[in-house]
Amino acid sequence: AEAGEEKVISIEAVRELPSQPVTSAYFDRAMDYSKSRFRAVSLAELLDRFDLDRTADAALLECFDDYQGIVAVDDIRRFNLLLATEIEIAPGFKRPGWLNPLLILVPDGSDAPFQERFMTANIRQLRLVRLDDYYAPLARAAGGSSAGREGLVLFKDNCLFCHSLEGIGGNKGGPLLQFYDFGRKKERERFHDNFRNTHGADNPDKQNLSQFITDQGLRALTEFLRGFAASPGK
């Protein structure tokens, strides 16, 4: 791409890179699987091909099901993140409909933190972006409380991919501020109940966010959403 042009990486471009067989205990832990196998390409090598001037500091992951992930270039290089082009689940395990290539993969030997962002699947293309530009509409949202700031980090790391705010993020799960009145205690309690029912360990769609967000984290997340909903212009 020319300087200043947005860089978009297609599935076809990814598949042009040589792939290697890999395993991922990180993936198996998150999905409650065992002995999953993959073929994957180096995400860092892909970036080196498409961002020669290194102007981007993140890859935006746009998915077929309106999920939208994002990973920082620093994380890609530090944790040796891969893109799986083939996924083989061991017999006896249920494979949800969303679990399709391309898939962000943490290989064995990596010490990546346990986060939803490192499980993005069903990717149709990657866009190279600047994190400050992407998150700019949310920069004012955390407010002054420590819980609000913690909640913003949790929301960015685990929720924004399905639940957009200020036009940022995915729409697979819809915008939470349209579903809940976070200014009311009963609505906050309803949000907590629905989170546990929808994203608990035994949910049928294998989207177990409770492994990434503790009860304390859920309260901080709610405080962030409460503050955001009450901010001017909302």
For 193-227, what is each residue's pLDDT tens digit? 999 888 877 766 667 787 888 899 999 999 999 98
- Report whether the peptide linkage leading into residue 105 is cis, meaning its omega lies within 30 degrees of zero: no
pLDDT at 141 over 70: no
pLDDT at 137 over 90: no
Is the domain of 120 the same as that of 14? yes
Calculate ∠ Cα 192-195-201, nearest 5°.
125
Q: What's the CA gap between 124 and 11, in Å, rounded?
A: 6
**Residue reference for tokens 């906050």:** 188
Q: Within 13 Å and on the Cβ side, how many CA atoms surround 208?
A: 14
Give the residue numbers spanning the domain of 125.
7-129
- Provide the pLDDT confidence category of residue 2 given band limits of 50, 70 and 90: very low
DSSP sequence for 29-79? HHHT--S-EEEEEEHHHHHHHH-TT----EEEEEETTS-EEEEEHHHHHHT
Identify the pLDDT of residue 59.
95
Q: What total of structural domains would you count in the chain?
A: 2
Asked whether residue 29 is assigned to any structural domain, the reply reads yes
| H or E segment and range at residue 128 | strand 123-129
Closest CA to 104 of 89, 122, 131, 78: 122
- Residue 161 phi, psi (nearest 5): -65, -30
Instruction: Output the pTM of the full model.
Output: 0.80
pLDDT at 134 over 70: yes
Is the domain of 40 the same as that of 70? yes
Q: What's the CA gap between 199 and 193, in Å, rounded?
A: 10
Asked whether residue 144 is assigned to any structural domain, the reply reads yes
- Provide the pLDDT confidence category of residue 192 given band limits of 50, 70 and 90: very high
Q: What is the mean pLDDT of residues 182-191?
A: 94
Is the domain of 23 the same as that of 121? yes
Of residues 188 and 143, more confidence is placed in 188
Q: What is the mean pLDDT of residues 45-50?
A: 90
* Least confidently predicted of 27-41, 83-97, 154-168, 200-214: 200-214
Asked whether residue 1 is assigned to any structural domain, the reply reads no
